[in-house]
Structure 1
């Protein structure tokens, strides 16, 4: 496994924040991509999931997460709603450093590399300063061919 420290440039994202089961992720991602298209914007980066807590720590109905995507274009509002009333928010993400690796396999198993990233940060005197981000790099027919970049923001 290749783990690297890299700089993520400043970028803007649209995202939907949720509390509840991860089962809602595919629906929310679809709704977000549709919302971006309806606004006449172009998805710039692969879609992502940001996970604020863990199913090992809380019940499924207490999971906090968001799904989002970078985009190109301008909007005059920071918050609006999709057709189902979900809040779509906009944010500019500042340039920052992350510890990163790419996992190959079903999306639901990407957390298997978290321990390796934790160890890397400890061995390199880095401090994790935010939630884990999973960037979904492709959407193959065969789940074993899925590629997920896992990032921990660090200082």
Structure 2
């Protein structure tokens, strides 16, 4: 399956997020509950997300994933409890659009890693997934996920 992978310059994006850990099999519940917590807090602030939700993966240990789950926002907002201000880094970034079931995303990661290596670049090791639709109301074959690999300076 061909993927649209590119190297782009992206702006820094302010966010509200929760940093947590989870085994891969618990991801749907952890992500859903965390999105709910963040949306509830944003509602208290009278704010709305500035775009699609994301998850940052700081490792790929499927038994103990180190995650940052959040929403982009239009400006830096204060944190409360587990919900804290954060940023999706800007600068040179490898991007790859994937359409399909989450459990079949690995070839898109491989295609993006190959492009970055071919360009002689090095990723930071953090992978972001931005979710343009939800498995709650979209069939798995039509789920759209933008993968971001920030590039080391």
Give the number of equivalent residue pairs: 144
Aligned pair partner of 1:3 in 2, 5, 17: 5
Aligned pair partner of 1:17 in 16, 19, 23: 19
How far apart, in 2, do the equivalents of 1:121 and 1:73 lie?
30
Task: Report the RMSD for the aligned CA atoms in angstroms.
Answer: 1.8
- Normalising by structure 2, what TM-score? 0.84
**1:38 positional shift:** 2.1
Superposition misfits of 4+ residues, deviation over 4 angstroms: none
CA shift digits 1:17-76 (9 cap, x unpaired):
1012242122112222222222111100110010111135xxx2x22111111112553x
Which consecutive unaligned segments of at least 5 residues does structure 2 have? none
Q: Which residue of 1 aligns with 2:108?
A: 113
Q: Which residue of 1 aligns with 2:57?
A: 51
Q: Which residue of 2 aligns with 1:84?
A: none
CA shift digits 1:60-104 (9 cap, x unpaired):
2x22111111112553x3x312xxxxx111024453111111111
> Which of 30-39 and 13-22 deviates more?
30-39
How far apart, in 1, do the equivalents of 2:127 and 2:85 lie?
19
1:41 touches 1:73 (CA, 8 Å); kept in 2? Answer: no
How far apart, in 2, do the equivalents of 1:74 and 1:54 lie?
29
Q: Which residue of 1 aligns with 2:99?
A: 104
2:47 aligned with 1:80, yes or no?
no
Which consecutive unaligned segments of at least 5 residues does structure 1 have? 82-86
How far apart, in 1, do the equivalents of 2:95 and 2:34 lie?
25
**1:138 positional shift:** 1.5
